[in-house]
Structure 1
Amino acid sequence: MEYKILITEPINNKGIDYLKEQGYEIKMGSGISEDILIKEGADCDGILTRNGNITEKVLTACNKLKVVSMHGVGVDCIDVEAATRLGIQVTNAAESNQRSVAEYAIGLILMLAKRSIHYNNGLKSGDLEVRKLYGSDVSGKTLGIIGMGNIGTQVAHIASYGLTMNVIGYNRRIGGKKQTEYALLSDNLEEVISSADFLSLHLPANPSTRHIIGERELSLMKQTAFLINTGRGEIIDEAALIKVLSEHKIMGAALDVFEGNLPKPDNPLLHMEHVIVTPHTAAFTTEALERMAYQAALGISEVLEKRPVSYPVNKLSDSFVENTGIAAIMNYYRYEFGNKY
């Protein structure tokens, strides 16, 4: 059967080529608004999106739709609950950017500790006195991690084994404390925050995590501590963070994400010398973008061909088998190297 796939925005050719090899017709989209998606997705069996506003209205109007696949991990722009009710499978590229984001977070930690931005900006402006501003070592310092999922755990591994940092991670499900080889896990959020010399956030955006770091939580941080956020902007009360940074109640911050996605030009965080800002780019490496495109395309093919889904976001019924990624690895090798594997 010939299927038609809407790709709402440009992606790496690895994903497009994979879908073409399955014999699918590709329709490249012209926009990500609700109206455009309804119009362009009306005759499509699958949608692959990066930022498309996949609302219940879109899902309902596109009555041929069987699968929506996210080019990335977060599915904030997809109404997953509505998709589940309508029998539409949602998939993502769950294993595409974990290492990339983890490396980025570690890089930000080192930049903050070593005062790299201060030295760079000072020297470029001719201020040699910037040499008198001293950085610090991270070895022996405490890294607090909120969000001990795949990315947070990789950050913990790098920090512990590679940088000999003491790592304490927040995990509300463990019921007390648990010492692992690479981190002390605790269900006490206040303890993690107050212990940290560097506090790194790796949480998704949802109602339970919104503003989990607010004025009270920020007040628990050491005055010498740094905050790093490569998770989602909505997990921090941005107004409270601006206030704390303006009053120098913490040493500084490094932010790759902001409330409402990218910040407006007048956002005070963009103009503070003790804050490093980047435009939500932690996941965007050449290698990660290839993996995102391939894994997102793989999810579409798996659903349409009724194979086990490697990276399901929702569960429609017992017929949709949630596996642990083994099938995804095998599919990847078959794609890269043929049937040899």
Structure 2
Amino acid sequence: MSKVLLPDTIPSEGEQIFNAAGIEIIHGTGRSAEKMMQEGSDASAVLIGTQNFDAQIMDSMPNLKVIARNGVGYDAVDIDAATARNIKVVNTPFALNDSVAETAITELLAISKNIFWDTKSIYDGQWNYKKTHPGNDVFGKTVGILGFGRIGHVVAEKLAGFNVKIIAHDPFAKATENVEMVSREELFVMSDYVLVHLPAIDSTKHSIGMAEFKKMKETAYFINMARGVIVVEPELVQALQQHEIAGAALDVFEEEPLSMDNPLLELDNVLLTPHIASNTIETKRKMAIDAANDIVAILNGDLAKSVVNP
């Protein structure tokens, strides 16, 4: 009987798919490499989150045929090692577009209106904090989308009713009715809000730093819902400290969980959330279903929906 390791709990709909296919579920007790290696030693499949999954872990699972990534990014998986071992890697790119787009726009609005700090001021007994920290309207502003793939398109669609100008940069995408394609430099220069929706690949890692922040308006906001590794985090901190930009909303970080000594926590012009862009009941259910179906397909020798390696 094939076995699937679940280091994390998943919605019951995913487990039901495994049960119907006769696949035994190994309920893991942790996401560390040591735990996965120990508990998944005879697993044929594994369904992971954002934790690293390298060649050493793969070699500890000699029966492994598929690694499923509960999400769209798969940068934490050593794709070359998996391919060399004839292990398929799948993800769930169709399950989370709306959720991530909704969260991106929520954070855009929240950082614009200073929602977090105004809310905190009530609990701190500082009702008049708002008088010296007014927010900003989004109406009439320019929103730049860096990375105009599936999620970027959905973000643009949802922003259509906000009466903003939408521009985007992506060398592999074309303009749409409401979105003007511009150069990368123009996007940073023109935007009042820069939304990052790039994949974390070699060409994008640490590709946004002080040079880009200096191109931005001093009144502009930087919003990253993609991967923390895309940004040179110390340079973002410096840009925020020196008010090169007005603020930032960040859902992802170079190191996660965010350490309590991270200088971002000392700034009052940031909105920080703990990687929650797809953390909704509905989206987690969709991801579990998509990942489980692809695992079953591969273990049965059938074609999977979202294979990311040859």
Structure 1 length normalisation: TM-score?
Answer: 0.86
Match of 1:269, as an amino acid? L
- Residue equivalent to 2:211: 216
- Residue equivalent to 1:150: 150
- Residue equivalent to 2:260: 265
> 1:95-125: per-residue Cα shift (whole Å, max 9, x none)?
1211111100101111122222232122333
Q: Is it true that 1:248 corresponds to 2:247 in the alignment?
A: no
- Residue equivalent to 1:181: 177
Q: Within 5 Å, give how 1:286-297 maps onto structure 2.
A: 286-297=281-292
In structure 2, C-alpha distance between the alignment counterparts of 1:70 and 1:112, rounded to whole Å: 30
Q: Name stretches of at least 5 consecutive residues in structure 1 with no aligned partner.
A: 316-341
Query: 199-208 or 141-150: which moved more?
Result: 199-208
In structure 1, C-alpha distance between the alignment counterparts of 2:148 and 2:304, rounded to whole Å: 24
Query: 19-28 or 116-125: which moved more?
Result: 116-125
Check 1:22–1:245 CA distance in 2 against 1; reply closer, same or farther (3 A cut). same
Runs in 1 of length 4+ with deviation above 4 angstroms?
none
In structure 2, C-alpha distance between the alignment counterparts of 1:48 and 1:197, rounded to whole Å: 39
- Residue equivalent to 1:20: 19
CA shift for structure 1 position 301: 0.5
In structure 2, C-alpha distance between the alignment counterparts of 1:120 and 1:52, rounded to whole Å: 33
CA shift for structure 1 position 52: 4.5
Check 1:34–1:262 CA distance in 2 against 1; reply closer, same or farther (3 A cut). closer
Q: Within 5 Å, give how 1:27-38 maps onto structure 2.
A: 27-38=26-37
- Residue equivalent to 2:120: 121
In structure 2, C-alpha distance between the alignment counterparts of 1:116 and 1:34, rounded to whole Å: 38
Check 1:52–1:213 CA distance in 2 against 1; reply closer, same or farther (3 A cut). closer
Q: How many residues align?
A: 309
In structure 2, C-alpha distance between the alignment counterparts of 1:244 and 1:204, rounded to whole Å: 23
Check 1:224–1:9 CA distance in 2 against 1; reply closer, same or farther (3 A cut). same
- Residue equivalent to 1:46: 45
Q: Identity over aligned residues, as a percent?
A: 37
CA shift for structure 1 position 290: 0.7
In structure 1, C-alpha distance between the alignment counterparts of 2:82 and 2:216, rounded to whole Å: 40
Q: Within 5 Å, give how 1:136-175 maps onto structure 2.
A: 136-159=136-159, 161-173=160-172
Check 1:194–1:59 CA distance in 2 against 1; reply closer, same or farther (3 A cut). same
CA shift for structure 1 position 183: 0.6
CA contact 1:32–1:53 (8 Å) conserved in 2:
no
CA shift for structure 1 position 235: 0.8
CA contact 1:32–1:51 (8 Å) conserved in 2:
no
Equivalent position to 1:311, from 297, 306, 309 = 306
In structure 2, C-alpha distance between the alignment counterparts of 1:103 and 1:35, rounded to whole Å: 36
In structure 2, C-alpha distance between the alignment counterparts of 1:164 and 1:302, rounded to whole Å: 44
Q: Name stretches of at least 5 consecutive residues in structure 2 with no aligned partner.
A: none
Match of 1:236, as an amino acid? V
- Residue equivalent to 1:193: 188
Check 1:173–1:74 CA distance in 2 against 1; reply closer, same or farther (3 A cut). closer
In structure 2, C-alpha distance between the alignment counterparts of 1:272 and 1:35, rounded to whole Å: 36
- Residue equivalent to 2:83: 84
Match of 2:203, as an amino acid? S
CA shift for structure 1 position 179: 4.0
Structure 2 SS opposite 1:64: coil
Q: Is it true that 1:134 corresponds to 2:129 in the alignment?
A: no
Structure 1 SS opposite 2:9: coil
In structure 2, C-alpha distance between the alignment counterparts of 1:165 and 1:251, rounded to whole Å: 19
Check 1:162–1:294 CA distance in 2 against 1; reply closer, same or farther (3 A cut). same
- Residue equivalent to 1:329: none
In structure 2, C-alpha distance between the alignment counterparts of 1:241 and 1:299, rounded to whole Å: 38
Match of 2:242, as an amino acid? E
Check 1:250–1:20 CA distance in 2 against 1; reply closer, same or farther (3 A cut). same
Match of 1:158, as an amino acid? K
In structure 2, C-alpha distance between the alignment counterparts of 1:58 and 1:135, rounded to whole Å: 48
Query: 277-286 or 114-123: which moved more?
Result: 114-123
- Residue equivalent to 2:228: 233
CA shift for structure 1 position 88: 1.1
In structure 1, C-alpha distance between the alignment counterparts of 2:63 and 2:129, rounded to whole Å: 62
Structure 1 SS opposite 2:277: coil
